[in-house]
Amino acid sequence: MQIEIRKARIADAEAIGYVHYHAWLETYAGCIDTKYLAGMSEQKSAEIFKKNRCQDMIVAGIDQKIVGFCGYGKARDEDAADTCGEIHGIYVLQKYQRMSLGKQLLERAKMELSSQGYQTVCLWVLGTNQSAMDFYEKNGFFLDGKEKIETLGKPIVEKRYRCIL
């Protein structure tokens, strides 16, 4: 089994869309409104990544098949300092979890953000996703006290985590 962690290319958009769609179904079934999830598709996900040309993304591949990805960039929150980056999302297909791919994606994204001059990084986690919260805490992130309500079919609570680079 050959593992590869690399920057995404525009040609990866379809595969990233596949991972995005299926990882959402695997991760959020029962946590996010079923009508919202039913409105998603591989094609809609792929279009998102084609539109942004897969910029500021890292992919994880096993035997040349993309099975995970991480998007990152400037923090989007109004209260974020200019020196704060953000992990926009990190997803690994369930079959490939617990193989250190998430950790490798996270570390590579943190390295990229640091090289762009960011001093801290934040990310948002669904308040009911204990597995993700445990993962981020294990990898140096801490709750910073900020929460927000997102409406994904129905209101959900997200919690913000932060890490010093």
Which pLDDT tens digit goes with each residue over 59-73?
A: 999 999 999 999 999
CA distance 73 to 82: 11
Tokens of 34: 């079923």
Read off the pLDDT of each residue in 36-48 and give the average, rounded to a whole number.
93
For the chain, give the percent of residues with pLDDT over 90.
93
C-alpha distances out from residue 70 to 20, 33, 36, 91, 146, Å: 10, 24, 22, 7, 22
Opening angle at CA 39, ends 74 and 95, nearest 5: 70
Using the predicted structure, report yes or no on whether residue 31 has a pLDDT greater than 90: no
Read off the pLDDT of each residue in 12-25 and give the average, rounded to a whole number.
97
Q: What are phi and psi of 100, to 5 degrees?
A: 75, 10
Average pLDDT, the chain: 95
Read off the pLDDT of each residue in 3-11 and give the average, rounded to a whole number.
96
CA distance 116 to 57: 14
